[in-house]
């Protein structure tokens, strides 16, 4: 019965991939150095955190929710990792601590949203600001530098000329695609987002689905924090400040409806959205377009994506 709640890849995902191809061709024509191997690898490396966190954001938005705290959560975890690295704590304990903190923060968000039925935007705005204050308190206006975790090699290594980081991202996306499309809990997420009342009547524990989904989002933010440390080797005060909006843009452009509703969207579309945003930001830099316009373009893309969804929802597009 739950299969009816899981959408097949539709026109919305195909449109996003088509736009991605057009974007790459356009920037390739306007900037000859855009399609170089070094630049493409740089784009992948610089957007690894967005790619990861967008998976959790997709799950939350499929429920009709949103998580605005992911950037601050990633920042807090990155700082904790940084201090533990400076204290020369065992790397496995560092990874364990990062995951526990991420899942714990996600649990807090999910518990407040599911147990007390508080709007997700209110909860995650509140926790976002709490964790921003924690970031300031932990750093005190200073940077953490010279960080070099043992796993940092994954951000630089290549396998047969292909960046290992890209391979890992593809594997993780494939795993979550399988999880959402073919595992029972993944179908519960779609069913809950589509019609929580009907899902509850069919025996799905809707509160548990929401709680676990936010835990997943927090856990993925922890993985993103580990990648950030490996890639940058430092932590600054502004870490994660624009992460949430970039992920929301990627997920929305990728076809997950702004209101979720469990009727459309998948991590495959999200990956296309992540790449679209990544190449857009890179192309803007290469062409010398003022960086202040970057957020303007991203905001405009979100509005156009939402408008497209609103105009096609009644016609059954992307079902």
Quick check: 301 pLDDT over 90? no
> Residue range 70-99: average pLDDT?
97
Token output for 98: 């990062």
Q: How many Å apart are CA 52 and CA 56, to the nearest integer?
A: 7
Query: 2-313: what CATH class?
Result: mainly alpha
Token output for 252: 């929305």
> Residue range 139-155: average pLDDT?
91
Q: How many Å apart are CA 61 and CA 75, to the nearest integer?
A: 22
Strand partners of residue 144: 235
Q: Provide the pLDDT for residue 314.
A: 56
Percent of the chain with pLDDT over 70: 92
3-state secondary structure of 288: coil
The dihedral built from the CA positions of residue 91, 92, 97 and 102, taken in this order, carries a sign that is positive
Token output for 294: 């970057």
- CB neighbours of 133 closer than 8 A, spacing ≥ 6? none
Give, to the nearest 10 degrees, the angle between helix 48-62 and helix 243-253: 60
Question: Which residue carries 């890992």 as its tokens?
Answer: 168
pTM of the model: 0.92
3-state secondary structure of 228: helix
Domain ranges of the chain: 2-313
The burial class, CB within 10 Å (0-12 / 13-18 / 19+), for 167 is middle
Give, to the nearest 10 degrees, the angle between helix 184-194 and helix 164-182: 70
> Which has the minimum average pLDDT: 148-157, 210-219, 250-259, 268-277?
250-259
């Amino acid at each position: 019965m739950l299969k009816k709640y899981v959408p097949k890849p539709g026109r919305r995902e195909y449109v996003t991939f088509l736009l991605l191809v057009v974007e790459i061709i356009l920037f390739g024509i306007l900037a000859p150095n855009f399609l170089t191997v070094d630049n493409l690898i740089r784009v992948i490396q610089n957007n690894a955190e967005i790619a990861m966190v967008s998976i959790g954001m997709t799950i939350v938005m499929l429920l009709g929710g949103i998580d605005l705290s992911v950037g601050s959560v990633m920042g807090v975890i990155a700082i904790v990792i940084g201090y533990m690295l400076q204290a020369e704590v065992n790397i496995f304990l560092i990874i364990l601590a990062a995951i526990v903190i991420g899942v714990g923060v996600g649990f807090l968000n999910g518990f407040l949203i599911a147990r007390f039925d508080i709007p997700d935007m209110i909860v995650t705005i509140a926790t976002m600001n709490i964790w921003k204050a924690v970031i300031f308190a932990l750093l005190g206006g200073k940077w953490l530098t010279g960080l070099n975790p043992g796993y940092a090699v994954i951000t630089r290594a290549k396998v047969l000329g292909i960046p290992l980081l890209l391979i890992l991202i593809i594997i993780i996306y494939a795993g979550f695609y399988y999880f959402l499309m073919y595992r029972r809990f993944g179908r519960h997420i779609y069913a809950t987002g589509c019609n929580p009342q009907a899902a509850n009547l069919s025996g799905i524990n809707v509160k548990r689905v929401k709680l676990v989904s936010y835990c997943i989002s927090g856990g993925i933010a922890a993985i993103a924090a580990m990648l950030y440390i490996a890639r940058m080797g430092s932590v600054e005060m502004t870490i994660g400040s624009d992460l949430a909006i970039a992920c929301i843009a990627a997920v929305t452009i990728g076809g997950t409806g702004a209101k979720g509703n469990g009727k459309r969207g998948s991590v495959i579309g999200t990956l296309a959205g992540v790449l679209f945003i990544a190449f857009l930001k890179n192309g803007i830099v290469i062409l010398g377009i003022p960086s202040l316009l970057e957020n303007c373009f991203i905001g405009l893309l979100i509005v156009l994506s939402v408008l497209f969804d609103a105009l096609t929802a009644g016609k059954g597009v992307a079902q």
